[in-house]
Amino acid sequence: MVAEIKKPQSQYQSGQAQVAIAERLTDPGWAWTAYKPDAHQPWNLAQAGHLYRRAAFGATWEQLQQALRDGPQRTVDKLLRPQADIVAFSRTYDEHENSAVGSAEALRAWWLRRIIQTPHPLLEKMTLFWHSHFATNGAEVNNARLMRRHVQLLRRGALDSFQSLLQGISRDPAVLIWLGADANRKAVPNENFARQLMETFTLGPGHYTEKDVREAGRAFTGWFVLRGQLRYIAREHDGNVKKILGQEGKFTGDDVVRIVLEQPAVSRVLVRKLYRWLISETEEPDLKLINPLAESFGRDYHVLRLVEKMLRSNLFFSPVAYRQRIKCPVEFALGIVKALEGTVSTTQLGQDLAALGQNLYHPPTVKGWAGGRHWINSATLVGRHNLALSLLRGSGPYADKLNPWTIAKKHGFMTAKSATSFLLELFLQGDLDSGAYDHVLKTMQARVGADSGDVEARVRRFAHTVVTLAEFHLA
Protein backbone atom coordinates (compact mmCIF):
# COMPACT_ATOMS: atom_id res chain seq x y z
CA MET A 1 0.00 0.00 0.00
CA VAL A 2 1.31 3.44 -0.83
CA ALA A 3 0.24 5.97 1.72
CA GLU A 4 -0.29 9.60 0.88
CA ILE A 5 -0.56 12.53 3.20
CA LYS A 6 -2.87 15.42 2.68
CA LYS A 7 -1.86 18.80 3.92
CA PRO A 8 -3.05 18.86 7.51
CA GLN A 9 -5.20 21.40 9.21
CA SER A 10 -2.84 23.85 10.85
CA GLN A 11 -2.61 24.03 14.59
CA TYR A 12 -2.65 27.78 14.13
CA GLN A 13 -6.29 28.46 14.85
CA SER A 14 -8.50 31.03 13.29
CA GLY A 15 -8.75 34.36 15.08
CA GLN A 16 -12.24 33.48 16.24
CA ALA A 17 -11.15 30.24 17.85
CA GLN A 18 -8.27 32.00 19.58
CA VAL A 19 -10.59 34.52 21.18
CA ALA A 20 -12.82 31.73 22.41
CA ILE A 21 -9.88 29.94 23.94
CA ALA A 22 -8.42 33.10 25.45
CA GLU A 23 -11.68 33.75 27.28
CA ARG A 24 -11.75 30.31 28.79
CA LEU A 25 -8.10 30.45 29.86
CA THR A 26 -8.82 33.12 32.43
CA ASP A 27 -10.85 30.56 34.33
CA PRO A 28 -8.71 28.20 36.43
CA GLY A 29 -11.65 25.84 36.74
CA TRP A 30 -11.67 25.35 32.99
CA ALA A 31 -7.88 25.37 32.68
CA TRP A 32 -7.34 22.33 34.91
CA THR A 33 -10.39 20.38 33.76
CA ALA A 34 -9.59 17.31 31.73
CA TYR A 35 -9.37 18.11 28.05
CA LYS A 36 -12.17 16.92 25.77
CA PRO A 37 -11.61 17.62 22.10
CA ASP A 38 -14.06 20.04 20.53
CA ALA A 39 -14.27 22.24 17.48
CA HIS A 40 -11.96 24.86 18.98
CA GLN A 41 -9.37 22.42 20.21
CA PRO A 42 -9.63 19.27 18.13
CA TRP A 43 -7.55 16.19 18.79
CA ASN A 44 -5.11 15.83 15.95
CA LEU A 45 -1.59 14.81 15.07
CA ALA A 46 -0.16 18.11 16.29
CA GLN A 47 -1.69 17.59 19.75
CA ALA A 48 -0.43 14.03 19.87
CA GLY A 49 3.06 15.20 18.93
CA HIS A 50 2.88 17.88 21.62
CA LEU A 51 1.90 15.34 24.27
CA TYR A 52 4.74 13.01 23.30
CA ARG A 53 7.27 15.85 23.33
CA ARG A 54 6.33 16.88 26.85
CA ALA A 55 5.48 13.60 28.54
CA ALA A 56 8.13 11.62 26.65
CA PHE A 57 11.09 12.31 24.36
CA GLY A 58 9.20 12.31 21.07
CA ALA A 59 7.24 9.59 19.34
CA THR A 60 7.41 6.99 16.63
CA TRP A 61 4.97 7.09 13.72
CA GLU A 62 3.12 4.15 15.21
CA GLN A 63 2.78 5.91 18.56
CA LEU A 64 1.38 9.02 16.90
CA GLN A 65 -1.12 6.99 14.89
CA GLN A 66 -2.15 5.00 17.96
CA ALA A 67 -2.63 8.24 19.89
CA LEU A 68 -4.93 9.52 17.15
CA ARG A 69 -7.04 6.38 17.51
CA ASP A 70 -6.94 6.37 21.34
CA GLY A 71 -7.78 10.02 21.92
CA PRO A 72 -6.04 12.28 24.44
CA GLN A 73 -7.08 10.82 27.79
CA ARG A 74 -6.36 7.21 26.89
CA THR A 75 -2.96 8.26 25.53
CA VAL A 76 -2.22 10.07 28.78
CA ASP A 77 -3.26 6.91 30.67
CA LYS A 78 -0.67 4.92 28.77
CA LEU A 79 2.04 7.49 29.39
CA LEU A 80 1.28 7.69 33.11
CA ARG A 81 0.81 3.98 33.72
CA PRO A 82 2.25 1.93 30.90
CA GLN A 83 1.25 -1.71 30.60
CA ALA A 84 4.81 -2.96 30.17
CA ASP A 85 6.85 -4.64 32.88
CA ILE A 86 8.62 -1.55 34.19
CA VAL A 87 10.12 -3.37 37.16
CA ALA A 88 11.94 -5.89 34.99
CA PHE A 89 13.12 -3.18 32.60
CA SER A 90 14.46 -1.06 35.47
CA ARG A 91 16.19 -4.02 37.05
CA THR A 92 18.01 -4.80 33.81
CA TYR A 93 19.21 -1.25 33.38
CA ASP A 94 20.15 -0.89 37.04
CA GLU A 95 22.34 -3.94 36.59
CA HIS A 96 23.94 -2.44 33.50
CA GLU A 97 24.68 0.69 35.49
CA ASN A 98 25.99 -1.24 38.45
CA SER A 99 28.48 -2.97 36.21
CA ALA A 100 29.48 0.32 34.59
CA VAL A 101 31.88 0.89 37.45
CA GLY A 102 34.13 3.85 37.69
CA SER A 103 33.10 6.31 35.08
CA ALA A 104 30.49 9.00 34.88
CA GLU A 105 30.72 8.79 31.07
CA ALA A 106 29.48 5.21 31.19
CA LEU A 107 26.60 6.18 33.48
CA ARG A 108 25.68 9.00 31.15
CA ALA A 109 25.63 6.62 28.19
CA TRP A 110 23.47 4.10 30.07
CA TRP A 111 20.97 6.74 31.05
CA LEU A 112 20.59 7.91 27.47
CA ARG A 113 20.15 4.34 26.31
CA ARG A 114 17.56 3.82 29.00
CA ILE A 115 15.67 6.89 27.79
CA ILE A 116 15.65 5.55 24.24
CA GLN A 117 14.52 2.05 25.21
CA THR A 118 12.23 2.60 28.15
CA PRO A 119 8.57 1.64 28.02
CA HIS A 120 7.99 4.43 30.58
CA PRO A 121 9.52 7.60 29.12
CA LEU A 122 7.58 9.89 31.48
CA LEU A 123 9.52 8.39 34.38
CA GLU A 124 12.79 9.38 32.71
CA LYS A 125 11.40 12.80 31.84
CA MET A 126 10.67 13.39 35.48
CA THR A 127 13.99 11.92 36.59
CA LEU A 128 15.64 14.52 34.36
CA PHE A 129 13.44 17.18 35.96
CA TRP A 130 14.61 16.21 39.43
CA HIS A 131 18.21 15.93 38.22
CA SER A 132 18.05 19.63 37.41
CA HIS A 133 16.13 20.39 40.62
CA PHE A 134 18.50 18.59 43.00
CA ALA A 135 21.37 19.46 40.68
CA THR A 136 24.44 17.52 41.79
CA ASN A 137 27.63 17.67 39.77
CA GLY A 138 29.49 14.39 39.40
CA ALA A 139 32.82 16.04 38.69
CA GLU A 140 32.79 17.53 42.19
CA VAL A 141 31.46 14.39 43.86
CA ASN A 142 34.08 12.42 41.97
CA ASN A 143 32.57 9.05 42.82
CA ALA A 144 30.62 7.26 40.09
CA ARG A 145 29.06 4.79 42.52
CA LEU A 146 27.53 7.61 44.56
CA MET A 147 26.32 9.40 41.43
CA ARG A 148 24.71 6.19 40.19
CA ARG A 149 22.84 5.87 43.47
CA HIS A 150 21.91 9.54 43.38
CA VAL A 151 20.16 9.29 40.03
CA GLN A 152 18.57 5.98 41.01
CA LEU A 153 17.18 7.76 44.06
CA LEU A 154 15.78 10.47 41.80
CA ARG A 155 14.20 7.85 39.56
CA ARG A 156 12.60 5.97 42.46
CA GLY A 157 11.00 9.17 43.69
CA ALA A 158 10.42 10.80 40.31
CA LEU A 159 6.68 10.14 40.20
CA ASP A 160 6.20 9.25 43.83
CA SER A 161 6.19 11.19 47.08
CA PHE A 162 8.21 14.41 47.09
CA GLN A 163 8.46 14.10 50.84
CA SER A 164 10.27 10.74 50.67
CA LEU A 165 12.41 12.02 47.84
CA LEU A 166 13.47 15.04 49.87
CA GLN A 167 14.23 12.84 52.87
CA GLY A 168 16.35 10.61 50.63
CA ILE A 169 18.16 13.67 49.29
CA SER A 170 18.92 14.86 52.81
CA ARG A 171 20.80 11.61 53.40
CA ASP A 172 22.34 11.19 49.97
CA PRO A 173 26.15 11.08 50.19
CA ALA A 174 26.52 12.51 46.68
CA VAL A 175 24.41 15.55 47.54
CA LEU A 176 26.19 16.10 50.86
CA ILE A 177 29.64 15.91 49.26
CA TRP A 178 28.61 18.21 46.42
CA LEU A 179 27.24 20.82 48.80
CA GLY A 180 30.23 20.61 51.10
CA ALA A 181 28.00 19.22 53.85
CA ASP A 182 29.80 15.92 54.37
CA ALA A 183 30.92 16.73 57.91
CA ASN A 184 28.42 18.27 60.29
CA ARG A 185 29.82 18.46 63.82
CA LYS A 186 28.04 19.61 66.91
CA ALA A 187 30.78 22.17 67.63
CA VAL A 188 30.86 23.47 64.03
CA PRO A 189 27.36 23.14 62.57
CA ASN A 190 27.45 22.99 58.77
CA GLU A 191 24.78 25.16 57.16
CA ASN A 192 25.43 24.22 53.56
CA PHE A 193 22.75 21.57 53.20
CA ALA A 194 20.17 23.48 55.26
CA ARG A 195 20.73 26.54 53.09
CA GLN A 196 20.25 24.75 49.78
CA LEU A 197 17.30 22.83 51.19
CA MET A 198 15.48 26.09 51.86
CA GLU A 199 16.82 28.26 49.06
CA THR A 200 16.89 25.89 46.09
CA PHE A 201 15.07 22.66 46.88
CA THR A 202 11.92 23.96 48.56
CA LEU A 203 11.01 27.43 49.83
CA GLY A 204 12.98 29.82 47.67
CA PRO A 205 14.38 33.19 48.80
CA GLY A 206 12.14 35.33 50.95
CA HIS A 207 10.41 32.53 52.80
CA TYR A 208 13.00 31.88 55.50
CA THR A 209 15.60 33.79 57.49
CA GLU A 210 19.31 33.34 58.05
CA LYS A 211 18.42 32.26 61.57
CA ASP A 212 16.22 29.46 60.21
CA VAL A 213 19.19 28.25 58.16
CA ARG A 214 21.53 28.31 61.15
CA GLU A 215 19.09 26.48 63.39
CA ALA A 216 18.33 23.92 60.69
CA GLY A 217 22.06 23.38 60.27
CA ARG A 218 22.19 22.44 63.95
CA ALA A 219 19.37 19.96 63.46
CA PHE A 220 21.42 18.21 60.76
CA THR A 221 24.49 17.87 63.01
CA GLY A 222 25.72 14.31 63.44
CA TRP A 223 25.58 13.40 59.74
CA PHE A 224 28.84 12.63 57.98
CA VAL A 225 30.01 11.05 54.77
CA LEU A 226 33.07 8.96 55.54
CA ARG A 227 34.87 7.15 52.72
CA GLY A 228 31.77 7.43 50.56
CA GLN A 229 29.43 6.05 53.25
CA LEU A 230 26.73 7.96 55.07
CA ARG A 231 27.32 7.84 58.83
CA TYR A 232 25.35 9.15 61.78
CA ILE A 233 27.44 9.85 64.85
CA ALA A 234 25.08 10.38 67.76
CA ARG A 235 27.52 12.27 70.00
CA GLU A 236 28.01 14.84 67.21
CA HIS A 237 24.30 15.61 67.10
CA ASP A 238 23.17 18.78 68.82
CA GLY A 239 20.18 17.61 70.85
CA ASN A 240 19.21 21.04 72.15
CA VAL A 241 16.11 23.00 71.27
CA LYS A 242 16.04 24.74 67.87
CA LYS A 243 13.61 27.27 66.54
CA ILE A 244 12.87 26.74 62.86
CA LEU A 245 10.23 28.55 60.79
CA GLY A 246 8.27 29.40 63.89
CA GLN A 247 8.37 25.95 65.49
CA GLU A 248 10.39 24.99 68.54
CA GLY A 249 11.72 21.61 69.59
CA LYS A 250 14.70 19.29 69.82
CA PHE A 251 14.59 18.84 66.08
CA THR A 252 16.51 16.43 63.87
CA GLY A 253 17.12 16.60 60.14
CA ASP A 254 13.92 14.67 59.42
CA ASP A 255 12.00 17.20 61.49
CA VAL A 256 13.45 19.99 59.36
CA VAL A 257 12.22 18.28 56.20
CA ARG A 258 8.77 17.88 57.76
CA ILE A 259 8.60 21.49 58.97
CA VAL A 260 9.76 22.87 55.64
CA LEU A 261 7.13 20.84 53.80
CA GLU A 262 4.43 22.28 56.04
CA GLN A 263 5.09 25.72 54.52
CA PRO A 264 2.59 26.61 51.79
CA ALA A 265 5.36 28.27 49.75
CA VAL A 266 6.86 24.87 48.92
CA SER A 267 4.07 23.47 46.83
CA ARG A 268 3.70 26.77 44.98
CA VAL A 269 7.41 26.75 44.12
CA LEU A 270 7.24 23.18 42.85
CA VAL A 271 4.02 23.62 40.89
CA ARG A 272 5.54 26.66 39.17
CA LYS A 273 8.68 24.75 38.35
CA LEU A 274 6.76 21.81 36.98
CA TYR A 275 4.55 24.18 35.02
CA ARG A 276 7.70 25.47 33.34
CA TRP A 277 8.79 21.92 32.58
CA LEU A 278 5.50 20.49 31.32
CA ILE A 279 3.40 23.44 30.15
CA SER A 280 5.12 26.70 29.32
CA GLU A 281 8.30 28.57 30.01
CA THR A 282 7.28 31.74 28.22
CA GLU A 283 4.91 33.28 30.71
CA GLU A 284 4.81 33.26 34.48
CA PRO A 285 1.48 31.66 35.35
CA ASP A 286 -1.02 33.62 37.35
CA LEU A 287 -1.24 32.79 41.03
CA LYS A 288 -4.91 31.89 40.65
CA LEU A 289 -3.89 29.29 38.10
CA ILE A 290 -1.18 27.87 40.37
CA ASN A 291 -3.10 27.92 43.64
CA PRO A 292 -5.62 25.11 43.05
CA LEU A 293 -2.82 22.68 42.10
CA ALA A 294 -0.53 23.90 44.87
CA GLU A 295 -3.22 23.38 47.48
CA SER A 296 -3.86 19.78 46.55
CA PHE A 297 -0.17 18.99 45.96
CA GLY A 298 0.69 20.47 49.37
CA ARG A 299 -1.62 17.97 51.06
CA ASP A 300 0.22 14.79 50.05
CA TYR A 301 3.16 15.84 47.84
CA HIS A 302 2.20 13.11 45.42
CA VAL A 303 4.07 13.92 42.20
CA LEU A 304 2.22 11.53 39.88
CA ARG A 305 -1.13 13.10 40.74
CA LEU A 306 0.22 16.58 40.03
CA VAL A 307 1.77 15.51 36.73
CA GLU A 308 -1.46 13.75 35.80
CA LYS A 309 -3.53 16.85 36.52
CA MET A 310 -1.31 18.93 34.28
CA LEU A 311 -1.05 16.48 31.39
CA ARG A 312 -4.80 15.88 31.20
CA SER A 313 -5.76 19.52 31.37
CA ASN A 314 -7.38 21.87 28.88
CA LEU A 315 -4.47 24.20 29.52
CA PHE A 316 -1.92 21.61 28.49
CA PHE A 317 -3.64 21.14 25.13
CA SER A 318 -4.15 24.85 24.58
CA PRO A 319 -2.03 27.47 22.76
CA VAL A 320 -0.73 28.51 26.18
CA ALA A 321 1.38 25.36 26.16
CA TYR A 322 1.77 24.46 22.51
CA ARG A 323 5.38 25.11 21.36
CA GLN A 324 5.98 27.32 24.39
CA ARG A 325 9.16 25.63 25.50
CA ILE A 326 12.60 25.25 23.96
CA LYS A 327 13.80 21.67 23.82
CA CYS A 328 16.78 20.86 25.97
CA PRO A 329 19.60 19.16 24.03
CA VAL A 330 18.48 15.70 25.21
CA GLU A 331 14.97 16.32 23.89
CA PHE A 332 16.32 17.70 20.63
CA ALA A 333 18.56 14.71 19.89
CA LEU A 334 16.26 11.99 21.17
CA GLY A 335 13.35 13.53 19.27
CA ILE A 336 15.27 12.56 16.15
CA VAL A 337 16.36 9.17 17.44
CA LYS A 338 12.91 8.14 18.73
CA ALA A 339 11.10 9.20 15.57
CA LEU A 340 13.48 7.19 13.43
CA GLU A 341 13.17 4.12 15.65
CA GLY A 342 16.89 3.60 16.01
CA THR A 343 19.41 3.12 18.77
CA VAL A 344 22.60 5.10 18.41
CA SER A 345 25.88 5.11 20.30
CA THR A 346 24.97 6.85 23.51
CA THR A 347 28.60 7.16 24.57
CA GLN A 348 29.11 9.49 21.64
CA LEU A 349 25.73 11.12 22.20
CA GLY A 350 26.48 11.87 25.85
CA GLN A 351 29.61 13.69 24.79
CA ASP A 352 27.87 15.62 22.01
CA LEU A 353 25.05 16.67 24.35
CA ALA A 354 27.61 17.89 26.86
CA ALA A 355 29.02 20.15 24.15
CA LEU A 356 25.53 21.58 23.66
CA GLY A 357 25.40 22.48 27.35
CA GLN A 358 23.65 19.47 28.85
CA ASN A 359 26.17 17.14 30.39
CA LEU A 360 24.08 14.54 32.24
CA TYR A 361 25.36 13.86 35.77
CA HIS A 362 27.09 17.28 35.60
CA PRO A 363 24.60 20.14 35.93
CA PRO A 364 26.59 23.41 36.03
CA THR A 365 25.54 24.62 39.48
CA VAL A 366 23.17 23.65 42.26
CA LYS A 367 20.54 25.67 40.44
CA GLY A 368 20.51 23.11 37.65
CA TRP A 369 20.21 23.94 33.98
CA ALA A 370 18.73 27.39 33.47
CA GLY A 371 17.10 26.19 30.26
CA GLY A 372 14.80 28.22 28.04
CA ARG A 373 16.54 30.77 25.89
CA HIS A 374 19.78 30.03 27.69
CA TRP A 375 20.08 26.84 25.64
CA ILE A 376 20.40 28.91 22.52
CA ASN A 377 23.40 30.77 21.23
CA SER A 378 25.29 30.76 17.95
CA ALA A 379 27.60 28.00 19.08
CA THR A 380 24.88 25.71 20.41
CA LEU A 381 22.72 26.19 17.32
CA VAL A 382 25.64 25.32 15.09
CA GLY A 383 26.24 22.39 17.43
CA ARG A 384 22.63 21.20 17.11
CA HIS A 385 22.86 21.52 13.33
CA ASN A 386 26.05 19.46 13.29
CA LEU A 387 24.74 16.86 15.72
CA ALA A 388 21.64 16.36 13.58
CA LEU A 389 23.91 16.05 10.57
CA SER A 390 26.03 13.50 12.33
CA LEU A 391 22.97 11.48 13.39
CA LEU A 392 21.40 11.50 9.93
CA ARG A 393 24.24 11.29 7.46
CA GLY A 394 24.52 7.53 7.55
CA SER A 395 28.24 7.35 8.29
CA GLY A 396 30.66 8.65 10.89
CA PRO A 397 30.43 8.28 14.67
CA TYR A 398 26.75 7.31 14.61
CA ALA A 399 27.16 5.01 11.62
CA ASP A 400 23.93 4.24 9.75
CA LYS A 401 21.71 3.55 12.76
CA LEU A 402 19.12 6.09 11.67
CA ASN A 403 17.64 5.88 8.20
CA PRO A 404 14.68 8.12 7.40
CA TRP A 405 14.14 6.51 4.00
CA THR A 406 13.83 3.03 5.50
CA ILE A 407 11.38 4.32 8.11
CA ALA A 408 9.30 6.08 5.46
CA LYS A 409 9.08 2.88 3.41
CA LYS A 410 8.31 0.83 6.51
CA HIS A 411 5.21 2.95 7.01
CA GLY A 412 4.15 2.75 3.39
CA PHE A 413 5.63 5.92 1.93
CA MET A 414 7.39 4.39 -1.02
CA THR A 415 8.30 7.38 -3.16
CA ALA A 416 10.72 10.20 -2.47
CA LYS A 417 7.83 12.63 -2.70
CA SER A 418 5.60 10.87 -0.21
CA ALA A 419 8.58 10.27 2.08
CA THR A 420 9.14 14.02 2.38
CA SER A 421 5.51 14.63 3.37
CA PHE A 422 5.83 11.78 5.83
CA LEU A 423 8.94 13.26 7.46
CA LEU A 424 7.24 16.62 7.90
CA GLU A 425 4.37 14.82 9.63
CA LEU A 426 6.66 12.65 11.72
CA PHE A 427 8.93 15.42 13.00
CA LEU A 428 6.60 18.43 13.00
CA GLN A 429 3.18 16.89 12.46
CA GLY A 430 3.09 19.05 9.37
CA ASP A 431 2.59 22.07 11.56
CA LEU A 432 4.45 24.82 9.80
CA ASP A 433 2.54 27.94 9.01
CA SER A 434 0.99 27.42 5.63
CA GLY A 435 3.39 29.47 3.54
CA ALA A 436 6.40 27.68 4.92
CA TYR A 437 4.70 24.31 4.57
CA ASP A 438 3.91 24.86 0.91
CA HIS A 439 7.35 26.19 0.29
CA VAL A 440 9.15 23.34 1.98
CA LEU A 441 7.11 20.78 0.16
CA LYS A 442 7.26 22.40 -3.24
CA THR A 443 10.86 23.40 -3.45
CA MET A 444 12.27 20.59 -1.39
CA GLN A 445 10.21 17.93 -3.05
CA ALA A 446 11.27 19.23 -6.41
CA ARG A 447 14.81 19.07 -5.20
CA VAL A 448 14.51 15.68 -3.59
CA GLY A 449 12.94 14.37 -6.76
CA ALA A 450 15.33 15.94 -9.21
CA ASP A 451 18.75 16.24 -7.64
CA SER A 452 21.48 13.84 -8.35
CA GLY A 453 22.27 11.09 -5.91
CA ASP A 454 20.23 8.16 -4.73
CA VAL A 455 16.88 8.55 -3.04
CA GLU A 456 18.18 7.57 0.38
CA ALA A 457 20.78 10.34 0.38
CA ARG A 458 18.21 12.87 -0.74
CA VAL A 459 15.73 11.83 1.92
CA ARG A 460 18.48 12.08 4.53
CA ARG A 461 19.20 15.65 3.43
CA PHE A 462 15.54 16.48 3.62
CA ALA A 463 15.25 15.02 7.12
CA HIS A 464 18.18 17.15 8.20
CA THR A 465 16.48 20.22 6.78
CA VAL A 466 13.32 19.49 8.75
CA VAL A 467 15.02 18.92 12.11
CA THR A 468 17.02 22.14 11.81
CA LEU A 469 13.91 24.24 11.26
CA ALA A 470 13.23 26.66 14.10
CA GLU A 471 9.98 24.78 14.80
CA PHE A 472 11.82 21.58 15.64
CA HIS A 473 13.71 23.27 18.49
CA LEU A 474 10.40 23.90 20.22
CA ALA A 475 8.97 21.31 22.58
Distance CA 337, CA 404 (A): 10
Binding-residue pattern over the window 102 to 141 for another protein, x denoting contact by CB under 8 A = -----------------------------------x----
Q: How far is the CB of 199 from another protein (least distance, A)?
A: 13
Taking CB under 8 A as the rule, does residue 375 contact another protein? yes
In the list 157, 298, 357, 404, the residue contacting another protein (rule: CB under 8 A) is: 357
DSSP letter for each residue of 403-450:
-HHHHHHHTT--SHHHHHHHHHHHHHTT-S-HHHHHHIIIIIHHHHHH
In the list 90, 383, 406, 415, the residue contacting another protein (rule: CB under 8 A) is: 383
- Binders of another protein in range 204-263 (CB under 8 A): none
Q: How far is the CB of 368 from another protein (least distance, A)?
A: 10
In the list 27, 343, 365, 399, the residue contacting another protein (rule: CB under 8 A) is: 365
Q: How far is the CB of 469 from another protein (least distance, A)?
A: 5
Buried b (16+ CB within 10 A) or exposed e, 266-301: bbbbbbbebbbbbbbbeeebeeebbeebbebbbeeb
- Binders of another protein in range 275-334 (CB under 8 A): 282, 319, 323-326
Nearest Cα to 269, choosing from 347, 208, 192?
Answer: 208
Distance CA 124, CA 126 (A): 5
Q: How far is the CB of 32 from another protein (least distance, A)?
A: 23
Alpha helices by DSSP H, 262-377: 264-278, 287-300, 303-312, 329-339, 346-355
**Given the rule CB under 8 A, which of 124-132, 244-252, 263-271, 464-472 is the region that contacts another protein?**
464-472
Is the Cβ of residue 259 or residue 416 nearer to another protein in the bound state?
416
Q: How far is the CB of 226 from another protein (least distance, A)?
A: 19
**Given the rule CB under 8 A, which of 125-133, 267-275, 304-312, 386-394 is the region that contacts another protein?**
386-394
Distance CA 405, CA 420 (A): 9
Phi, psi (rounded to 5 degrees) for 101: -65, 150
Give me the residues paired with residue 243 across strands.
Answer: 248
DSSP letter for each residue of 86-99:
HHHHHHHHHHHHHH
Residue 224 in 3-state DSSP? strand
- Binders of another protein in range 418-437 (CB under 8 A): 433, 435-436
- Binders of another protein in range 152-211 (CB under 8 A): 179-180, 192
Taking CB under 8 A as the rule, does residue 461 contact another protein? yes
Name the burial class of residue 241, with classes exposed (0-12), middle (13-18) and buried (19+) by CB atoms within 10 angstroms of its CB.
Answer: exposed
In the list 249, 364, 412, 449, the residue contacting another protein (rule: CB under 8 A) is: 364
Query: Do 170 and 216 touch, CB atoms closer than 8 A?
Result: no
Is the Cβ of residue 90 or residue 468 nearer to another protein in the bound state?
468
Distance CA 429, CA 47 (A): 9
Q: How far is the CB of 450 from another protein (least distance, A)?
A: 10
Residues that bind another protein (CB under 8 A): 12, 137, 179-180, 192, 282, 319, 323-326, 355-357, 364-367, 370, 373-383, 385-386, 389-390, 392-393, 433, 435-436, 438-440, 443, 447, 451-453, 457-458, 460-461, 464-465, 468-471, 473-474
